[in-house]
Amino acid sequence: MKIQAYRRANGGVGIRNHVLVIPASVCASHAACRMAEGVPGAVAIPHENGCCQVGRDHEQTVRTLAGFGRNPNVAAVLVVSLGCEGIHFDQLQSRIEATGKPVAHVGIQASGGETVAIHAGIRILTDLKRQADTQSRVECDLAGIILGLECGGSDATSGIAANPAIGVASDLLLAAGGTSILSETTELIGAEHLLARRASQEVGQKIMEIVKQTEARAQAMGADLRGSQPTPGNLVGGITTIEEKSLGCIHKAGSARVGAVIAYAEEPRGKGLIVMDTPGHDIESVTGMVAGGAQVVVFSTGLGTPTGCAIAPVIKITGNPETFRRMADCLDVNAGRIIAEGVEIESVGRQLLDEIVAVCNGKLTRAEISGHREFGITRIGPTF
């Protein structure tokens, strides 16, 4: 199946043409936002990290920031650093430049002040934007698409209607040669044995391992996970335990075999269905998948949520007919018809794939129209 998209220098398929401003640290985040505000069409990803982090936690933050720059939805990048932070700007610049896209840098201390740096950044962004706008959509293969699978604000309809419909769309994308990422390890607790059965012994063991580690992290806090998962909204929606939530969640992954388990913000090496080790936190999970290269995300929600992402369209689908009516401004696809009208799950799944293709071709999602720019990096270590 073909789509109209941006072909990147490294062969990546972009469905948006963003000029991205990446602050290397929290200290450069304000300046990065001011620069992006100065150039319509540029987008910044302010964050709280980038300094006083060590080991795998530091590396994961670098990988996430660089991953956003590397994502094919991004045409060009400006890295903004303060100058003294733990993440050296070159760690980001070199990883992003490897994709062949233009990457510029502005240092605040090196510029002799924030105001000067902001002006310099705006000037650079106008050039990057002008350059990006010379690119146009060309025919690309749907097989180049990585679809992120997410659910948030789940209720009982998510596992019955919306997630199974997403599963159909995911299976169809895989059949067309594409890739899907199932994330949210917390929401595999209690369903991991079913996924492991759909994988090689080695991959199955990895699935069991990441779930065990997530469970152990909750226990290490000295508290039951059930104080936080299921969330208060999930409980109101009829989900009683994390096991029940998980058994509903994994329907997003359809029926395909799991090909690999990858780390947070890691890029999948093969195609097919991939499990990424992310938390159940929607923003952090979506950020991880998009940093891993997902160009588009499908997000099921029972209660309704406005969430989007800074550089990737997030298509929201609900299985709750009442939520589709009440939260219409946050939702793109109505899977509530499965329960309300007896429409087949497969038919909604096919409709969802059509919507994914339309969004790949440039159709804006509700979250994009509303200007959503969420970005949040999962931390796996303390701040020092």
Partner 1 sequence: MNLSELQMIVADLDLSMPSGQDLKARGNSVRLSPKDNVVTALRELRPGEQVKVGPDLQEVTAVELIPFGHKMAIVTLPTGSDVIKYGDCIGVASQPIAAGAHVHIHNVNSRRARV
Closest CB to partner 1 among 83 and 177?
A: 177
CB of 232 to partner 1, least distance (A): 11
| 313 preceded by a cis bond (ω within 30 of 0) | no
Amino acid letter, residue 68: F
Q: Please tell me whether residue 90 binds partner 1 under the rule CB under 8 A.
A: no
Phi, psi of 235 (to 5 degrees): -65, -45
C-alpha to C-alpha distance for 1 and 379, rounded to whole angstroms? 38
Structure tokens at 86: 């733990």
Q: What is the residue whose two structure tokens read 């969330």?
A: 231
Phi, psi of 296 (to 5 degrees): -145, 145
Q: Please tell me whether residue 347 binds partner 1 under the rule CB under 8 A.
A: yes
Q: Please tell me whether residue 251 binds partner 1 under the rule CB under 8 A.
A: yes
Q: Please tell me whether residue 270 binds partner 1 under the rule CB under 8 A.
A: no
Structure tokens at 7: 């072909």
CB of 214 to partner 1, least distance (A): 8
Q: What is the residue whose two structure tokens read 């610049």?
A: 93
Phi, psi of 260 (to 5 degrees): -165, 160
Quick one: which segment of 286-294, 332-340, 362-370, 376-384 binds partner 1 (CB under 8 A)? 332-340
The mark string for 139-158 relative to partner 1 (x by CB under 8 A, - otherwise) is ----------------xxx-
Closest CB to partner 1 among 254 and 376?
A: 254
- For residue 166, how far is the Cα from the chain centroid? 16
> Which of 2, 56, 226, 325: binder of partner 1 (CB under 8 A)?
226
Amino acid letter, residue 126: T
CB of 362 to partner 1, least distance (A): 27
Q: Please tell me whether residue 255 binds partner 1 under the rule CB under 8 A.
A: yes
Q: Please tell me whether residue 198 binds partner 1 under the rule CB under 8 A.
A: yes
Q: Please tell me whether residue 329 binds partner 1 under the rule CB under 8 A.
A: no
Closest CB to partner 1 among 257 and 379?
A: 257
Spatial CB neighbours of 140, under 8 Å, sequence gap ≥ 6: 2, 3, 4, 5, 7, 13
C-alpha to C-alpha distance for 188 and 100, rounded to whole angstroms? 36
> Which of 10, 200, 205, 219: binder of partner 1 (CB under 8 A)?
219
CB of 322 to partner 1, least distance (A): 8
CB of 313 to partner 1, least distance (A): 25
CB of 11 to partner 1, least distance (A): 20
Q: Helix 29-37 crosses helix 114-132 at what angle (to 10 degrees)?
A: 50
CB of 161 to partner 1, least distance (A): 8
Q: Please tell me whether residue 194 binds partner 1 under the rule CB under 8 A.
A: yes
The mark string for 278-297 relative to partner 1 (x by CB under 8 A, - otherwise) is --------------------
Quick one: which segment of 26-34, 49-57, 344-352, 357-365 binds partner 1 (CB under 8 A)? 344-352
End-to-end Cα separation, the chain, in angstroms: 49
CB of 225 to partner 1, least distance (A): 3
Closest CB to partner 1 among 84 and 175?
A: 175
CB of 227 to partner 1, least distance (A): 10
Three state DSSP letters for 99-159? CCCCEEEEEHHHHCCHHHHHHHHHHHHHHHHHHHCCCCCEEEEHHHCEEEEEECCCCHHHH
Report, in angstroms and rounded to the nearest whole number, the Rg of the chain calculated over CA atoms. Answer: 20
Q: Please tell me whether residue 248 binds partner 1 under the rule CB under 8 A.
A: yes
129 with 39: CB under 8 angstroms?
yes
CB of 212 to partner 1, least distance (A): 10
> Which of 343, 358, 372, 379: binder of partner 1 (CB under 8 A)?
343
Q: Please tell me whether residue 249 binds partner 1 under the rule CB under 8 A.
A: no
Strands (E), the chain: 2-7, 13-14, 18-23, 42-44, 74-81, 103-107, 138-141, 146-151, 179-182, 258-262, 272-276, 296-300, 314-318, 333-334
- Kindly list the residues in this chain that would bind partner 1 in the complex (CB under 8 A): 155-157, 159-161, 164, 167, 171, 174-175, 177, 189-191, 194, 198, 214-215, 218-219, 222-226, 229, 235, 237-238, 240-244, 247-248, 251, 255-257, 272, 302, 320, 322, 337-339, 341-345, 347-348
